[in-house]
Amino acid sequence: MKNDIEKILLTKEEIQDKVKMIGEQISQDYKDKTPVLVCILKGGVIFLSDLMKHISIPINIDFMSVSSYGDSTKSSGVVKIKKDIDIDISNRHVLIIEDIVDSGLTLKYINNYFTNHNVASVKLCALLDKPEAHKSDLDIDYLGFEVGNEFVVGYGLDYAQEYRNLPYIGILKKEIYK
Ligand code: IMP
Ligand code: MG
């Protein structure tokens, strides 16, 4: 697995420090509220599980699965809900937990979807952002790191369902997905 990585972009330590900071910020901002953290499967799963350990206020968690990607490295632009949340989010504060914003089409769709559900608020939290790849306007309320327009894997992010278990984030060698 390690041999398929061209370069490590973010080390385990850098990620852990940032995730702790975001968790503390969320704890402050949502003081006296019980937000629902909605993790977008599968990429957001490590981020959510690390992040929630640094949140010191009551929270609920839920999961949603959408498809916008096949096993390719380009966004299809088509977003479909494969698994919806279980919790009733009416009048709740929803915080969407996503691994990476690429074109932004996935988050835009999910954001609109929740906004139409009578929620108290919807905010976005993403570990990574590729600002050069945006195809739609999007405000990320909590962001870990900006990365270039390269395909990255690890810490939840996959290529063809692999590499999610790497504890760091790296750029995959081009020959792997060509
Ligand atoms: P968007 O709709 O183009 O913003 O796509 C977002 C989704 O595509 C993310 O939730 C990821 O699952 C996936 N994705 C985008 N860029 C990468 C990448 O560099 N590595 C792995 N997955 C990615
Ligand atoms: Mg994703």
CATH number for the domain that contains residue 67? 3.40.50.2020
Beta carbons within 8 Å of 71's beta carbon, 6+ residues apart: 159, 160, 161
From the CA of 170, which ligand is nearest? 1
Query: Is 52 among the domain residues?
Result: yes
- Residue 116 CA to ligand 1 center (angstroms) comes to 24
Q: What is the pLDDT of the chain when averaged over all its residues?
A: 93
pLDDT score of 70 more than 60: no
Tell me what pLDDT residue 137 has. 82
Query: Is 170 among the domain residues?
Result: no
71-108 pLDDT per residue, tens = 555 666 668 899 999 999 999 999 999 999 999 988 98
Query: Is 72 among the domain residues?
Result: yes
Beta carbons within 8 Å of 70's beta carbon, 6+ residues apart: 76
* pLDDT confidence band for 162 (50 / 70 / 90): very high
Query: Is 165 among the domain residues?
Result: no
Ligand 1 atom at minimum distance from 75 CA: 3
Average pLDDT of span 137-148: 94
Domain that holds residue 123: 13-152
Neighbours of 160 (CB within 10 A): 12
101 lines ligand 1 (CB under 6 A): yes
Neighbours of 159 (CB within 10 A): 18
104 lines ligand 1 (CB under 6 A): yes
Q: Which two tokens stand for residue 159?
A: 């290529």
Tell me what pLDDT residue 178 has. 67
Average pLDDT of span 135-153: 93
Tell me what pLDDT residue 72 has. 56
Q: How many domains is the chain partitioned into structurally?
A: 1
